[in-house]
Amino acid sequence: MELYEKVENVKSRADLIKFIKYLRMDLQSNRAEWENITLEDYLEAMEAWVNDMEGYYLNTNHPVPKQPSWKTIADILYASSMYE
């Protein structure tokens, strides 16, 4: 199962913990596929994505979260690996 598919399964704190483990393992084994591999770049992308995330949800026909959920956190972490 791909990371983007694992994001969809995050419904609880325990799910988020598992997702973070998969995210870390993906970075270790697929570093070349990540856009943001330094902490500085990752955090910069996180800031930008959170600032723009309403557009992502609207463009993908998902409701814009009013209150972050465990899945919202997973979305942020996943998007930060590739967002420019």
pLDDT for 3 equals 87
- CA dihedral of residues 28, 30, 36, 40 (deg, nearest 10): 10
How many domains in the chain? 1
With H, G, I as helix, E, B as strand and everything else as coil, classify residue 68: coil
Question: Which residues does 8 contact at the CB level (< 8 Å), separation at least 6?
Answer: 71
pLDDT for 8 equals 92
Q: Full-prediction pTM beyond 0.85?
A: yes
Domain containing 7: what range? Answer: 3-80
pLDDT for 24 equals 96
How long is the chain? 84
pLDDT for 68 equals 93
Question: Which residues does 43 contact at the CB level (< 8 Å), separation at least 6?
Answer: 80
Averaged in consecutive runs of 10 residues, what is the pLDDT profile of the chain (84 residues)? 89 98 96 95 96 93 93 96 91
Structure tokens at 57: 């949800």
